[in-house]
Chains A and B, each alone.
Chain A
Amino acid sequence: MKNSLTNSKKKKHYGNVKPKSYRAIYEEKFYDILFRLRYPLMTVIFFTTLGVLMLMIINNKSDGKSVLNFFFHTVITFSTVGYTEGYDTSPQHLMVNRFFTTLFIIVTIPLVYIYGLVTTVSIFMNSKIDEIYRYWRMYKAMEKLKNHYIICRFNGITKELMRNLKKRGIKFVLIEPDGSLEDEIKNFGVDFYVIDEPHKRSVLLGVGIESAKGIVSAFEENTQDLSVIVTARLIRPDKDEFMIFATATTEGAAEKMKLLGANEVIIPDISVGRRMTSFILHPPSPVLSGFLEKIAYGERTDIDIMEIRIDERSDLVGKKLKDIHMRQETGATVVAIVRKDGKMKIAPSGDTQIVEGDSLIVLGHPKALKRAEEFFKAHIKENEEVMQK
């Protein structure tokens, strides 16, 4: 039952496009190397067998010791090493053996030594096997990613974003359409990246959009952002389950993006302007300057802010803040309550009552916030009973 449910959920996205398997591309490259080795290796095997067989026939010997000597002789002949004569050097066989070996050398030096061995080595040297293995390992790990973010475009904005996500241990996959940036991406230390067009369904499915938490599209051009947003939203229609964040250059474009499915759209120029304003309004002080913004922007890793919605089934509804002992149990502090009608109560007292539809703004260490989230989840009693049924 559960399986069929998840299956039908998987098939939900529109169209019939198969995800692009980046791992398979590099597996195929590895097979291609093997494929190119076929004929050089075949000449080596064929002439080794032929040499051993001919020497066995000429010398009329097939005991183990002789066969090993013939094998040795064949190999040292075509590899141009030639330590010694591995065959019978008694006068009756010597001349025939030498005649055969001469012919053998004429045929095998070009065919086995140059074509067989040298080509094999050069294929190995030129095919960058270590690089293929590196990509293969990266994409194999990428397939296992869950709850990760997809970031489109490698630029100043996403660099800063990736630096912060890394600090917090959040996994992400970078999609960059411009192949010339690959070296820079590598040097920047991105764990997972693909060089491809992010507005293609197969690419988005290939980087695991179905198990991802969100996507960030930060192109310089609005049209590219729009195509990524639309494609991603068509695959993952639920706005609460899958977040789409984007940048826009104008407010008009931002509005369009929001209508087409983006959760939030940032216009870099306006954001910077607002931040500048805040510096002017709150004169710079080492502690206070942009304190809340720094928290909101996630620049500080020791403190964070979070909104927790009170579920209507929660048994905390109707209780006073001081009675639920949240601060004692979790270490996080309620700094504001947003009522259902949008009114905000800043720094609520302990006597403030929690009402249905409230959102609590909670401040604290990231670990404390996680505890607080679990604290509120644990109070949704009915929900658990329904789940068990």
Chain B
Amino acid sequence: MINWGKVWSDFFIFLALTSNVGFIFSHDPYQLVIAIGVNLLATVLKFGAKKILAAELLATALVADLHLIPATILYFMETHVPLAIGLAIGAAVANIISIVMLVIEIIFEYRKEEEI
């Protein structure tokens, strides 16, 4: 059986990375607005999750947000645009780490089920 709650939350975590990477390559303002919206959504989804790596997942999501918020401000002020792109790359790295931890957690849960 597919756990639909998991599909929902994982969907936003993956979308956070893909939209972020999309902005890095396209430098497009529309993509940036989508990226920051999805990243904020992914952060809020991690609130209150009682999983093994919940704290680490929330921390990486907050790091990604704190990169993207100044990136958005800089980008739309049209000052230091290269810095804004750099910050977006930083956010992408945080998102990749977040996905790596998600995979680790899936393995943990899988092994737990086996033990039972």
Contact = CB atoms under 8 A, between A and B. Distances in A.
Pair from one complex: yes
Contact of B29 (A45, A50, A56): A56
A49 B36 contact: yes
Interface string A44-69: 01101110110011000011100110
Interface in B1-58: 28-30, 33-34, 36-38, 40-41, 44-45, 47-50
A36 interface: yes
Contact of B47 (A34, A46, A52, A64): A34
Interface residues of B, number: 20
Contact of B77 (A42, A52, A53, A64): A64
B108 interface: no
Contact of B41 (A32, A42, A62, A63): A42
A35 B9 CA distance: 13
Q: Which of under 10, 10 to 19, 20 to 34, or 35 or more describes the interface residues of A?
A: 20 to 34
B78 A45 contact: no
A49 B47 contact: no
A31 B78 CA distance: 39
A64 B48 contact: no
A67 B33 contact: yes
**Chain B CB within 10 Å — which of A33, A49, A52 has the most?**
A49
B47 A35 contact: yes
Contact of A53 (B30, B75, B76): B30
Contact of A49 (B33, B49, B77, B78): B33
A48 B37 contact: yes
Given A45-B37, A49-B34, 8 more contacts: A35-B48, A36-B48, A38-B47, A49-B33, A49-B38, A56-B29, A56-B30, A64-B78
Interface of B: 28-30, 33-34, 36-38, 40-41, 44-45, 47-50, 75-78
25 contacts: A32-B48, A35-B48, A36-B48, A37-B44, A38-B44, A38-B47, A38-B48, A42-B44, A45-B40, A45-B41, A46-B41, A49-B33, A49-B34, A49-B40, A50-B37, A53-B33, A53-B34, A53-B37, A56-B30, A56-B33, A62-B28, A64-B77, A67-B29, A67-B33, A67-B76
